[in-house]
Amino acid sequence: MSPAEHPAGAIRPRWEWELLDEAGERLEPSLSPVFTTQYDAEEWLGERWRRLAAAGAAEARLMHDGTLAAPPLALRIP
């Protein structure tokens, strides 16, 4: 059984941050793990956004199963 499946066989939701640089290019490799809940994804970004910005991320987009789930967030260190 793949990690994305639960015992009933249904696929779990996948939440992931797409991180972009100042030019709007996606940072590769992705610095974001894949989450099974929106809460976990948002908590992860809240704890790490400063480090991600320092690493070159200028914008974060929350993706749900490959679809934009919320407005993009600017990552700016004040």
**Helix/strand/coil percent split, the chain, to 5:** 20, 25, 50
For the chain, domain boundaries: 15-74
pTM equals 0.80
Residues sharing a CB contact under 8 Å with residue 44, sequence separation 6 or more, in sequence order: 17, 32, 33, 35
pLDDT the model gives residue 77: 78
pLDDT along the chain (78 residues), means of 10: 51 90 92 94 97 95 96 90
What are the b/e assignments for 13-22, b being 16+ CB within 10 Å? eebbbbbbee
